[in-house]
Amino acid sequence: MAAATDCIFCKIAEGVIPAHRVWEDDRALAFLDINPLAAGHTLLIPKLHAADIRDIDPELAAFLFLQAPKLAKAVQQATSADGVNILQNTGAAAGQAVFHLHIHFIPRFEGDGLGYRWNAGQYGAGEVEEMLSKIQGKLG
Ligand code: 5GP
Ligand code: ZN
């Protein structure tokens, strides 16, 4: 998909809007988040516009994730973090605010207080089988 004219991350990819560029090649760009959850918080984007993970060529998604080990390691080592969250918000309900696919690399520290409630539930009788067949039916 071509660059979306009103998309801030397309503008960053094109260099129209400045960003602190961590790494890039012809297909992808990593840059520092302007409002970091912790110093070193990095975003990885495809240079081609895609709204979210549902909207991207799987080959490009694979290419993005190929960059994840080195980025996670660099962010962790540079910040001396205890861990890293790799996060991709898909849809406003999931916390997505910028609708150009991006993967967060967030340095995490023991006791940093970040996180969200993981309200784990349980399936009722028969529900897991029903859900399984629904999801599998959408895989095609
Ligand atoms: P989302 O909530 O969509 O998963 O995350 C969007 C992220 O993009 C946020 O963490 C936000 O701070 C970051 N962000 C939004 N606008 C800009 C910008 O203009 N420059 C940079 N570097 N980061 C941005
Ligand atoms: Zn875009």
Atom of ligand 1 lying closest to residue 20 CA:
22
pLDDT for the residue 14: 97
Q: What separation in Å is there between the alpha carbon of 100 and the centre of ligand 2? A: 5
Whether 90 is in the pocket of ligand 1, judged by its Cβ within 6 Å, is no
pLDDT for the residue 117: 85
Q: What separation in Å is there between the alpha carbon of 16 and the centre of ligand 1? A: 16
The superfamily CATH assigns to domain 8-110 is HIT-like (3.30.428.10)
- Please give the average per-residue pLDDT across 62-81, as a whole number: 98
pLDDT digits 0-9 by tens, 112-126: 999 888 899 999 999
Taking 90 as the threshold, does the pLDDT of residue 15 lie above it? yes
pLDDT for the residue 59: 97
Atom of ligand 1 lying closest to residue 89 CA:
4
Whether 31 is in the pocket of ligand 1, judged by its Cβ within 6 Å, is yes
Per-residue confidence band for 60, with pLDDT thresholds at 50, 70 and 90 = very high
Ligand at shortest distance from the CA of 48: 2
The predicted model scores a pTM of 0.95
Average pLDDT value for the chain? 96
Per-residue confidence band for 2, with pLDDT thresholds at 50, 70 and 90 = low
Instruction: Count Cβ atoms below 10 Å from residue 90 Cβ, excluding itself.
Output: 15
